[in-house]
Amino acid sequence: MIEKYKSEHLYEWMVEIRRKLHRHPELAFEEIETAKVLMEQLTKLGISYDYAGPGHAVIGKLFSKSAVAPVVALRADMDALPGTENTHLPFASCMQGRMHACGHDAHMTMVLGAAALLKTSPPPCHVLFVFQPAEEKGGGARVVLESGALQSVSAIFGGHVTHHYRVGEIMVADGVITAQSDRFKIHIKGKGGHGARPHEATDAIVITGLLITALQTLVSREINPVYPAVVTIGTVHAGSAPNVIAEEAILEGSIRSTLPEVRDHIHTGLRRMAKAIGELHNAKIDIDITQGYPPVVNTTRESQIAHRAAEKVVGRTRLMTLDHPSMGSEDFSYYLQKIPGCYVRFGARRHEHEYIPLHSPEFDLNEEVLKVGAAFFDEVIRETAQDYLS
């Protein structure tokens, strides 16, 4: 049973918007129709906005009467994921190969709900409602920062739905929340040949197997167990026929870590192992490592503000803590490198529902979370204004 929230009267409206967004997911930097829906709703609410076109953010603006009032931002992500939805919902994605498997449709709706509450009862601060493109791929947060739209922002807040918690629970924590994310690509060049004459070839697939096994020891045998780290090989492409020894193989993977020194050690170790295995088997191995999103690190003051806001909305017993940082990544981290802020998590699972991970084709959420998110974002703006003006 979900208790009454300040946003209760907005629930049916929010559900309608969320389902409309869910039906029409758009990939990173392609959020054209999504932006149109958001601008339409902001216009109905009487909130002005800026939009520079596809690939950019929709930024709603609610101004205080005081020129010296602080500027506080709320952020929601707009993009969906590639994938085929398998929820069988009546409002499931109608866009082939695209789905909102990460809850961004809910995030946008929550911030719109907060905008409706804040418009009705304006806080003593300026508010920016930042609907950002391309969180999943491309780091849309950097596009927003480079535009200069957030230069005057004093604090920024965002959040994410999760099945790790039940509806009505909010996780707020100070410090590191998510991991650093890097990607790598390994190109193995051997010598092709006939499957019946392996002595005449250098088998890229055999080398691939050795390298995959070796890389797992980077974390299990070279990183202090108390420091979170993950090395994952996500794709392997090699071979052309059952009786042909593969000349080339390409591996792609990701690295997750929370400490710079751990990240550096994994990068160095990856190159060291690839070089050694290449020399051992007379193959050429090239590695390209692409730096991903930095870790999300909440600032102390803003975490305390978010904690107070969450307690007012859901009560102390439903405030969750974070024992260990998530090994996922999130480009909200770019904002926190420039602006103080806090990133929270909203429980989106009913007690009787099974856990379904984000990015799963079966992912859906309990829409009651929309009330919680809208009420929290409304309250965190008011708490921030009070804290900054006191």
Are the C-beta atoms of residues 283 and 190 closer than 8 Å to each other?
yes
Same domain membership, residue 351 and residue 269: no
Same domain membership, residue 329 and residue 283: no
Residue 301 has pLDDT above 90, yes or no: yes
Same domain membership, residue 333 and residue 252: no
Joined tokens for residue 130: 């930042």
Q: Which residues are catalytic?
A: 293, 367
Q: Is residue 1 part of a domain?
A: no
Q: pLDDT tens across 34-70, in order?
A: 999 999 999 999 999 999 999 999 999 999 988 789 9
Residue 3 has pLDDT above 70, yes or no: no
Distance between CA 383 and CA 376 in Å, rounded?
10
- For the chain, the average pLDDT equals 95
pLDDT at site 354:
78
Same domain membership, residue 164 and residue 260: no
Query: Which residue numbers belong to the known binding site for Mn(2+)?
Result: 102, 104, 136, 160, 359
Same domain membership, residue 162 and residue 25: yes
> Between helices 369-389 and 300-314, what is the axis angle to 10°?
130
Residue 1 has pLDDT above 60, yes or no: no
| Parent domain of 259 | 180-291
**Contacting residues for 20 by C-beta, under 8 A, at least 6 apart:** 37, 91
Q: What is the CATH number of the domain that holds 145?
A: 3.40.630.10
Same domain membership, residue 274 and residue 309: no
Same domain membership, residue 358 and residue 245: no
Q: Is residue 272 part of a domain?
A: yes
Q: pLDDT tens across 57-67, in order?
A: 999 999 998 87
Query: Which residue numbers belong to the known binding site?
Result: 102, 104, 136, 160, 359
> Between helices 204-220 and 260-280, what is the axis angle to 10°?
150
Give the total number of structural domains in the chain. 2
Same domain membership, residue 189 and residue 125: no
Q: pLDDT tens across 71-114, in order?
A: 999 999 999 999 999 999 999 999 999 999 999 999 999 999 99
Residue 2 has pLDDT above 50, yes or no: no
Same domain membership, residue 24 and residue 146: yes
